[in-house]
Amino acid sequence: MKLEKEYYLEEDVVAIARDLIGKVLITSRNGIITQGIITETEAYNGVTDRASHAFGGKRTPRNEVMYHTGGIAYVYLCYGIHHLFNIVTNTDAIPHAVLVRGIIPFSSDDQQIMQERRGRETLTFRDNFGPGKVTQSMHIHTSDSGTDLTSGTIWVEDRGIFLNTRKLRSGPRIGVGYAKEDAALPYRFYFEGNNPY
DNA sequence: CGTACGATCTGCT
DNA sequence: GCAGATCGTACGA
């Protein structure tokens, strides 16, 4: 059930981004387990991708972990406020990553936890789209960057969950207009109307 | 050292 | 639909 190291070593990061749809993201925080079904992802495809932090081989303290072997987390701060969670993939120091943009609670218990963390009375499946909301619901922080996804704090499981893949779409990534010709690449996977059912 | 800005969210209009 | 929040990071001087 738990995805092992080998899963993240696959070369095609776009294929992984597609395959992660429907998998379950799990965090363990102070004994509190939170589970969310992944419903939206984006692929960032190495040094030739103008939208990637690693474009042109750029390597800084912030994105250093993108160059590590796949199967770890890359978490960074965006707009000074939002913690964005990525899964590093591939091996041979090729900086591939998948941004997790949307989840839905696995169970009503998970929904309860996420509502509290989000400061909301209710949470529908439409309320957990947006990468900043994902990290707030799952309690993921920039200090988690570099965390091994086969350790016991953050990991992903395959539960064979049914989602309505007839409504699964691919399209351009969000907020990467500066990426010129790469801005149009269909590296984002999402459900029509944000509704995976 | 100074400055500009981003893989965004929220609340108000 | 739009502005404001809010700050680490990158990069140039």
Mean pLDDT by 10 residues, chain A (197 residues): 96 97 96 96 96 96 96 96 96 94 95 92 80 96 96 96 94 90 94 90
Q: What is the pLDDT of residue A46?
A: 95
What type of residue is A2?
A: K
Q: What is the pLDDT of residue A125?
A: 75
Nearest residue to nucleotide C8, by CA–C1' distance, is A80
Query: If you write DSSP's letter for every residue of chain A in order, what string do you get?
Result: -B--GGGGG-S-HHHHHHHTTT-EEEEEETTEEEEEEEEEEEEEEGGG-TTSTTGGG---TTTGGGGSPSSEEEEEEETTTEEEEEEEE-STT--EEEEEEEEEESSHHHHHHHHHHHT-S---TTTTBSHHHHHHHHT--GGGTT-BTTSSSEEEE-------GGGEEEEPPTT-GGGGGGGGS--EEEEGGG---
Instruction: Quickly count: other Cβ atoms within 10 Å of residue A78's Cβ.
Output: 12
Torsion of CA A149, A46, A164, A127, to 10 degrees: 70
Answer for the pair A189, A169: CB distance below 8 angstroms, yes or no: yes
Cα–Cα dist A21/A102, whole Å? 9
Measure CA A157 to chain center. Answer: 13
Residues (49-78, chain A) with CB within 7 Å of strand C atoms: 53, 58, 60-63, 76-77
Nearest residue to nucleotide C5, by CA–C1' distance, is A81
Q: Residues of A14-40 as b/e, b for ≥16 C-beta within 10 angstroms? A: bebbbbbbbbbbbbeeeeeebbbbbbb
Q: What is the pLDDT of residue A165?
A: 92
Q: What is the pLDDT of residue A119?
A: 86
Q: Is the CB of A114 under 7 A from strand B?
A: no
Q: Protein contacts on strand B: list nucleotides below 7 Å from a Cβ.
A: 6-10
- How distant is C1' of B4 from CA of A87, in Å? 28
Cα–Cα dist A85/A100, whole Å? 6
Q: What is the pLDDT of residue A174?
A: 94
Q: What is the pLDDT of residue A118?
A: 92
**Token pair in block for residue A157:** 């499981």
